[in-house]
Amino acid sequence: RLPTVSASQALQKLHARGSRTVSTGVAQLNTILSPPCPPGHTVSGGLMRGKVTEIFGPSGAGKTAFGIQAAVSALREGQHVVWADAACAPLVPQRFNDVLFAIGDPLPRDPATDVPPPPDLSPDELRSHFHHYTSPTLAHLLALFVRPPSAFPPPNTSLIVIDSLSTLFDNAYPRNSDDRTLRNKSDQARWAAGRKFAVMNELISTLARVAAMYNIALVLTSQPITRIRGSSRAVLVPAISGAEWENGISTRLVLFRDWVPGQWKRNDADANNLRKVRFIGVVKVDGVTLAEEGGVGNVVPFAIESTGLGGMDMAAVDVAVPALRQPVRPLKRPFAEIDGDDDGDEDENPDSDELYGWIEDDEVAAEGLV
């Protein structure tokens, strides 16, 4: 049975500062991610607690810095934070301390709520609320969440960050360049592909359950991969994908860097900002997809400062650049294939999912190899 909650308790929880979200440090992004609320009420926005958020992007886009800023926001509210490091993305203690103990960066208060600010905590108390785990292999991460110890997650935890999750999957299930298609895979490779999807499905269901049971904002960061669509289109997509995985992800953000039109430059300060500007694309919010595959959705500019993330005063018209479309040219064919090959059965614009075996899902699992 679900626990019974009185109306007064529900209202008190609704007004409680930070009870439903964890701030990202970027005000414009918090507004986009703010949860729905009854008319006349104001709820602070940010990463939704009880849900799983995926953040992907190329190296250097700021995924780890984004996680650090969210962790600092939770710690400053008196909450506990769990950080799980993957093999290749260790957390830099000095960088974390610089953001945590930044001077002159108090958390903004919501004037619509009459809740006192959290009590001031000493540096040692703040550090004691941060729980760091190292997961060198995928098996370590599965053991931590599928068979957690009795004290995991710690009480009053509002945020869990799993940094560079895709690295663990790539190390556990490396891609074989010799097996280009599903038809050419050996029995062992086909078994490994089916096993990979079974582990992915088990992990995302476990993470979603942990987030919902303990009212925790669970953040995953991963690298992108390139997929070819047709003969002249390449898109960046998350390295981990699948039907079950997509259902378990409530919010998806893409971090990237891009050129900004020169007309935004008004002075030397703007020129300096252009060199460090980054962008957050809101692809999915609370289960609702805002952009198609390869799209970036709503774009929010930001910058990484020594004291954490900061928003950028830049209009969308300054960011959007019209794309230049090139004419699509037919694929060239080897001379040996020209003569007598006009049956039209071959696909002239194959997708990379077929070329490189990036779709090994239900067909593999149905063969009883899992």
Q: How many CB atoms lie within 10 A of CB 268?
A: 8
Average pLDDT of the residues in 218-227: 91
Q: How far is CA 178 from CA 8, 185, 212, 286, 357, in A?
A: 63, 8, 41, 39, 10
295 vs 193, more confident: 295
Of the chain, the percentage scoring pLDDT greater than 70 comes to 63
Judged against a pLDDT cut of 70, whether residue 343 lies above it is answered with no
> CA-CA distance, 191 to 346, in Å (whole number)?
28
Give the pLDDT of residue 340.
53
Average pLDDT of the residues in 172-200: 70
Give the pLDDT of residue 79.
92
Q: How far is CA 54 from CA 140, 143, 166, 322, 351, in A?
A: 20, 21, 11, 28, 25
Judged against a pLDDT cut of 70, whether residue 25 lies above it is answered with yes
Write down the residue that tokens 């699992």 correspond to. Answer: 365
The residue extents of the domains of the chain are 9-106+117-317
Average pLDDT of the residues in 134-144: 92
Give the pLDDT of residue 38.
63
Give me the CATH topology for the region 9-106+117-317. Rossmann fold (3.40.50)
Average pLDDT of the residues in 300-327: 66
35 vs 158, more confident: 158
Average pLDDT of the residues in 46-59: 93
Judged against a pLDDT cut of 80, whether residue 112 lies above it is answered with no
Judged against a pLDDT cut of 60, whether residue 119 lies above it is answered with no
Q: What is the pLDDT of residues 252-262, one digit of tens each?
A: 999 998 766 55
Q: What is the mean pLDDT of the chain?
A: 76
DSSP assignment of 146-200, as one string? Answer: HS--TT-SPTTEEEEEEETHHHHHHHHSPPPTT--SGGG--HHHHHHHHHHHHHH
0.75 exceeded by pTM: yes
Of the chain, the percentage scoring pLDDT greater than 90 comes to 32
Give the pLDDT of residue 162.
95
Q: What is the pLDDT of residues 187-208, one digit of tens each?
A: 766 776 678 888 999 999 999 9
31 vs 219, more confident: 219
